[in-house]
Amino acid sequence: MIHLLRLLPGLVVYMLLSQTVLQAQNHHLTYIESQQDFPNPERGFYIPISTSSARFVPLDSAKLALYRTQSQRVSKATYSINCSLVYRSYRLETFKSSPLSEDFLKKVSNDFAIAKKAGVKLILRFAYTEQATTGTCPDQYKICPPYGDAPKAIVLTHISQLSPLLHEHAAVIAVLQMGFIGIWGENYFTDYFGDASTNSLGVVPDSSWRDRNQVLAALLKALPKDRMVQVRTPQIKQRFAYGPKAPITSAAMNSGDGYTTSDLARIGFHNDCFLASADDYGTFYDVGNSSTKRGPATIPLRRYMAQDSRYTAVGGETCDDAFSPQNDCAPLGRAEEEMALMHYSYLNASYNNEVNNDWQTQGCMDNIRRRLGYRFVLRSATIPDHVKAGQRLQIDLILQNVGYSAPYNPRPFQLILRNTDNGAIHSITLKTDVRRLSPGSHQLRHTLQLPAALKAGRYELLLNLPDGYSSLAQNPNYSIRLANTDLWEDRTGYNNLKHTLIVGP
């Protein structure tokens, strides 16, 4: 090597100069993180709006748009929220023994159209009753039968009827909760699917697990493959995945299973008693089967959900402030620690605000509002200053997700080239699956082939994370905003990289 340098000093100088020129063509940019709380699709605090088949009240487009564009304080909350999610529950009390009517189906369809117009997405649940009957029965909560849900044949008929609507309007569905079975659709107090309470057998027999699995399979089929169904407890997923006799130690998904179109990958969780007790009021509890008894299972079921939820949609609500200080802010409580461990994307803004208001008083609510779900911060970008049409363009991004989870529905990750003279747009889809941008830092390197026909000129570079459905892709209300100062464009839904690329012929 030394002899070669002596013989060819001119070549060495040329190589060094060439490398310097290449390095000079790359521009390194850094960006400032924003602490602002703003709405982003499919995450954050939701507002619940229920209706029933007996007294149907349609969604209000103007009110939903107000929820999204102005900070709201709901119920007894002492805090305000920015809302992109609405929980829409439908009580089917008039259809417990008959098919859904065409009129009802039309009303549900209209709700979807109203949500789309307002720029929000829906968390859906269908149930037959939300009324608990009290009495002198053995159950510890004194909730007594008959409970008022519907038999399996009716449930399956209703799911079949809803399927065309769920496919047609999937764009505005964030996630569908299993529902249907039991009071509130929570799959516990049920007349037809194995009453696990002490009012009855005290376990869910194998035959009832098979019936439940059939309902869950029908719901997964009723949705497009890119949408998830949430179940009330992790054991429901275990016994769907491995059968009625699945032990509480059954394995959770790994990264290879997650974000595929398999049924396993499309089952998430909604915990409707977040940090309400040691086992979250039965969320982490074994309700048994035909050969095993009911009993505590907090440790293995929590371990299962913590692993499995890395790849699924997770949400829910608080329900009781009795488990304090565990459900408080740190250092005495572990509210945020639990949200991060279980990868929460959303929570109810209206219930139970005895718990939620404590987060406001104790000082962690601002952080929770920002971190529920994903929150992407662009740290830096390395981008060439010049490139020729038809050549390769390399862009390096460092993106950090400071949220509790990743996005759970697929969407494109695009680089936008916008001509500074005429505004012409050229979009390039990058090979980044946003669902795999888990909490933490990500180095994203993209080498792109520019079209040979791209006209010479100056181009602004922008990032676009639009909705995955073409019907919403041009609507900025459904695009992901980066948590940076001065990058977001309200009009387009683009995130401006603050760099101009010169494209030569």
Nearest to 298 by CA among 276, 313, 317: 276
Q: Residue 230 pLDDT more than 60?
A: yes
> Hey, is 302 helix, strand or coil?
helix
User: Contact 45/369 with Cβ under 8 angstroms?
Assistant: yes
- Taking the CA atoms of residue 340, residue 343, residue 345 and residue 348 in that order, the dihedral angle to the nearest 10 degrees is -70
Cα separation values, 391 from 104, 119, 448, 449, Å: 56, 39, 8, 6
* Number of compact structural domains in the chain: 2
Q: Tell me the C-alpha distance between 306 and 260, whole Å.
A: 19
Cα separation values, 150 from 54, 96, 141, 422, Å: 16, 5, 22, 60
Cα separation values, 372 from 42, 345, 435, Å: 10, 5, 15
Q: Residue 20 pLDDT more than 90?
A: no
Domain assignment of residue 403, yes or no = yes
Beta bridge partners of 7: none
Q: Are residues 264 and 337 in the same domain?
A: yes
Q: Are residues 383 and 364 in the same domain?
A: no
Q: Residue 18 pLDDT more than 80?
A: no
**Local structure of residue 57 (DSSP, 8 states):** -
**Chain-centre distance for alpha carbon 293:** 34
Name the amino acid, one letter, at 239. R
Domain assignment of residue 143, yes or no = yes
Q: Are residues 181 and 296 in the same domain?
A: yes
**Residue where the block lists tokens 């509790």:** 404
Paired tokens of 313 = 């949609």
Q: Are residues 395 and 360 in the same domain?
A: no
Beta bridge partners of 503: 387, 457
CATH of residue 423: 2.60.40.770
pLDDT in tens, 50-106: 999 999 999 999 999 999 999 999 989 999 999 999 999 999 999 999 999 999 999
**Local structure of residue 23 (DSSP, 8 states):** H
> Hey, is 426 helix, strand or coil?
strand
Paired tokens of 167 = 């496919």
Split at pLDDT 50, 70, 90, the class of 206 is: very high
The upper half-sphere exposure of residue 502, i.e. CA atoms within 13 Å in the direction of its Cβ, equals 6
For 184-250, strand residue ranges (E) read 229-231
Average pLDDT over residues 272-288: 98
Paired tokens of 252 = 């959770």
Q: Are residues 168 and 240 in the same domain?
A: yes
Q: Give the mean pLDDT of the chain.
A: 94
**Residue where the block lists tokens 């507002």:** 47
Q: Tell me the C-alpha distance between 265 and 267, whole Å.
A: 6
Average pLDDT over residues 251-280: 97
Paired tokens of 85 = 């999610």
pLDDT in tens, 95-135: 999 999 999 999 999 999 999 999 999 999 999 999 999 99
pLDDT in tens, 317-371: 999 999 999 999 999 999 999 999 999 999 999 999 999 999 999 999 999 999 9
Split at pLDDT 50, 70, 90, the class of 217 is: very high
Domain assignment of residue 1, yes or no = no
**Residue where the block lists tokens 């789309």:** 116
Q: Which pLDDT value is given to residue 25?
A: 80
Q: Are residues 151 and 278 in the same domain?
A: yes
pLDDT in tens, 366-413: 999 999 999 999 999 999 999 999 999 999 999 999 999 999 999 999
Q: Are residues 292 and 429 in the same domain?
A: no
Q: Are residues 297 and 349 in the same domain?
A: yes
* Strand ranges across the sheet with 440-449: 26-30, 376-384, 392-401, 440-449
Q: Are residues 116 and 226 in the same domain?
A: yes
Q: Tell me the C-alpha distance between 106 and 310, whole Å.
A: 36
User: Contact 321/45 with Cβ under 8 angstroms?
Assistant: no
DSSP states of 105-154 as a string?
Answer: HHHHHHHHHHHHHHT-EEEEEEES---PPBSS-S-TT-B-S------HHH
Look at residues 343, 371, 399 and tell me which one is the last residue of a structural domain. Answer: 371
The contacts of residue 256 (CB under 8 Å, 6+ apart) are none
Average pLDDT over residues 169-180: 98
pLDDT in tens, 419-457: 999 999 999 999 999 999 999 999 999 999 999 999 999
> Hey, is 388 helix, strand or coil?
strand
Percentage of the chain lying above the pLDDT 90 cut: 94
CATH of residue 319: 3.20.20
Q: Are residues 362 and 386 in the same domain?
A: no
Domain assignment of residue 15, yes or no = no
Q: Are residues 367 and 423 in the same domain?
A: no
Q: Residue 2 pLDDT more than 50?
A: no
> For the purposes of burial, counting CB atoms within 10 Å of the CB of 5, is it exposed (0-12), middle (13-18) or buried (19 or more)?
exposed
User: Contact 177/270 with Cβ under 8 angstroms?
Assistant: yes
Handedness of CA 475, 479, 484, 487 (dihedral sign): negative
Look at residues 371, 395, 417 and tell me which one is the last residue of a structural domain. Answer: 371
Q: Are residues 360 and 392 in the same domain?
A: no
Higher-confidence residue of 33 and 12: namely: 33
User: Rounded to 5 degrees, what are φ and ψ at 165?
Assistant: -70, -40
Q: Tell me the C-alpha distance between 266 and 240, whole Å.
A: 12
Look at residues 371, 392, 413 and tell me which one is the last residue of a structural domain. Answer: 371
Domain assignment of residue 442, yes or no = yes
Q: Tell me the C-alpha distance between 81 and 237, whole Å.
A: 31
Domain assignment of residue 17, yes or no = no
Nearest to 42 by CA among 372, 297, 369: 372
Structural domain harbouring 304:
44-371
Average pLDDT over residues 31-39: 97
Domain assignment of residue 35, yes or no = no
Domain assignment of residue 341, yes or no = yes
Split at pLDDT 50, 70, 90, the class of 16 is: very low
